[in-house]
Amino acid sequence: MQKSLEELQASHNNLTEELQASHNDLTATKVQLQTNNRNLQREKDEFQTLSITIRANRDLLTNDKDRMHSSYNSLQNEKEELQNKYNSLVKVKDVLEKDINKVRGKPCERGWIRCHISCYFVSTSKRNWASGRQDCIARGADLVIIDSRDEQHFICEK
């Protein structure tokens, strides 16, 4: 019986040591798991913050993209309008060039003087403005409007 008691005591000591070792291992594992859990929680919080920042940046980029698209469309419309105006001006320019070429090739009437593309009639009679204008209209013209220094010089010499 003594031997049995000693065996039981030894077995009990062995079990106690094994339990203590298991307890120590479990405690260390628990500490490690708690550390891992805190790290994972911190990473989760960081990812959530990052996710919020990314969503906010995405929204800003979407707004910028929409504004840029709208601006692009406005500029495209403006470009089309300018192109249409340019095309119209080119047509007007072509018509004016044809008219200028016709006038350049056409001599002035007898008694009229040419300066560049215009013909001038210098009247020797003294009249007031209204009477002078009526005389010009009767001749198919109008009183002179001086548009350049060159034209003014020409008129003053006559």
What string of pLDDT tens digits covers the 158 residues of the chain? 777 888 889 889 999 999 999 999 999 999 999 999 999 999 999 999 999 999 999 999 999 999 999 999 999 999 999 999 999 999 999 998 888 877 777 888 899 988 877 888 988 889 999 999 999 999 989 998 888 888 888 877 76
Domain boundaries, the chain: 1-80, 108-158
> Domain 108-158 falls in which CATH fold?
Mannose-Binding Protein A; Chain A (3.10.100)
Phi-psi region of 141 (alpha: psi -120 to 50; beta: other; left: phi over 0): beta
20: left (phi over 0), alpha (psi -120 to 50) or beta: alpha
Q: Which residue has the tokens 């790290």?
A: 39
Residue 20: per-residue pLDDT: 96
The Cα 123–Cα 126 span in angstroms is 8
Count Cβ atoms below 10 Å from residue 136 Cβ, excluding itself.
15
56, HSE (Cβ side, Cα atoms, 13 Å): 6
